[in-house]
Amino acid sequence: MVQANTRFTTCGDVLPAARRWLLGAALVIGATGLAACPPAADVKGGGAGFSVDALAADPAALLRAADEQDALAAPRNSLAALERAQKTQPDWASGPGAYDLQWRLARAYASLAEPDGDQRSTAVPAGVQAAKRAIELGADRVEGHYYMAQLQGFSALLQKGETRPFLQAFVSEAEAAIKADEKFDAGGPLRIVGVLYARAPKEPVSVGDPEKAVQYMKRAVAVAPDYPANQFFLAEAYVADERYSEAESALATARKLLSDPKWDARRTSWRELLSRVERKLKAKQN
């Protein structure tokens, strides 16, 4: 990732190196969320085999289908199910189901914004609007704030100049999510803040703070100790804070956890992330 002598700026054009660390943090945010429960046996398809037209025109069932498609890492399918639910029940814009619809829309758009491509420029604004609506409908609920935080991170990636306001908004929304329910998504609100503090350049350039990174990741581990991502991002925080022996211990725990069959679907991508932390640790030790 970022080398110690890399020069950064928070005004004017963002340099490529700064863009790389920000992209890395945003990708981690998208890649480490805890998937929903496995799809029910009666739900057919997923990925290319999914057809929203084959689903019942029942909003509650469509929300369940959106969750199941999200668990299969198929955000376009999830979004299609949500859009159909919205058309089936137009009054959800102000009715009791509006919150459940809006935060899921924000989640789908955040997932669509993860790849570095043209769709990010349209997915992010749409996602921000959905998250904003969710927060208006349920300011004390975790989901709207959690996905708004992620979308603010992706908003920062779209900027050609100043990114600090978006990163500050990221932290503010994540803190609101922590206050609402820090256990959501296996400690997700804590995890995304910890990753940001570990990877961002330090003050006064940006918001990075290795000590805070360790604090947040230790809290995430306390919430979900058997969630592998919490362990290897704790290791990354330790590396940033130059606590190398503790990083080795956290990595050893992560490797052990990854052997559990329940993580089969995520093992490949998580091993890649874990390897990056291992390389970072080795480089620091050498």
Q: Does residue 13 carry a pLDDT above 50?
A: no
Question: Tokens 């992706």, residue?
Answer: 154
Question: Could you check whether the bond before residue 228 is cis, i.e. omega within 30 degrees of 0?
Answer: no
The pLDDT score that the predictor gives to residue 210 is 97
Q: Does residue 16 carry a pLDDT above 90?
A: no
The pLDDT score that the predictor gives to residue 42 is 35
Query: 77: pLDDT confidence band, cut at 50, 70 and 90?
Result: very high
The pLDDT score that the predictor gives to residue 14 is 32
Mean of pLDDT values over 103-113? 95
Structure tokens at 219: 């809290």
DSSP string for 208-233 = B-HHHHHHHHHHHHHH-TT-HHHHHH
| pTM for this prediction | 0.82
User: Would you identify the CATH topology of the domain 22-181?
Assistant: 1.25.40
The pLDDT score that the predictor gives to residue 44 is 39
Higher pLDDT, 5 or 16: 16
Q: Does residue 33 carry a pLDDT above 50?
A: no
Share of the chain above pLDDT 90, in %: 62
Question: b/e per residue, 195-226, with b = 16+ CB within 10 A?
Answer: bbbbbbbeeeebbbbbebbbbbbbbbbebbee
The pLDDT score that the predictor gives to residue 205 is 83
Query: 94: pLDDT confidence band, cut at 50, 70 and 90?
Result: low
- 3-class secondary structure, 250: helix
pLDDT tens by residue, 178-190: 999 999 999 999 9
Structure tokens at 237: 């925080």
- 3-class secondary structure, 202: strand
Mean of pLDDT values over 141-147? 98
* 55, 84, 135, 200, 224 from 175: Cα distances, Å: 37, 32, 14, 17, 18
Distance CA 191, CA 29 (A): 8
- Answer yes or no: are the C-beta atoms of 39 and 55 closer than 8 Å: no
- Could you tell me the residue ranges of all domains in the chain? 22-181
Mean of pLDDT values over 199-214? 90
- 3-class secondary structure, 148: helix
Distance CA 147, CA 145 (A): 6
The pLDDT score that the predictor gives to residue 231 is 97
Question: Tokens 């490797």, residue?
Answer: 255
pLDDT tens by residue, 226-266: 999 999 999 999 999 999 999 999 999 999 999 999 998 88
- Answer yes or no: are the C-beta atoms of 251 and 217 closer than 8 Å: no
Higher pLDDT, 149 or 34: 149
Higher pLDDT, 171 or 14: 171
Q: Does residue 57 carry a pLDDT above 50?
A: yes
User: Residue 37: what residue type?
Assistant: C
- Answer yes or no: are the C-beta atoms of 122 and 155 closer than 8 Å: no
Structure tokens at 123: 């997915």
In DSSP terms, 202 is beta-bridged to 208
H helices of 32-119, in order, are 59-71, 75-88, 98-113
Mean of pLDDT values over 74-81? 93
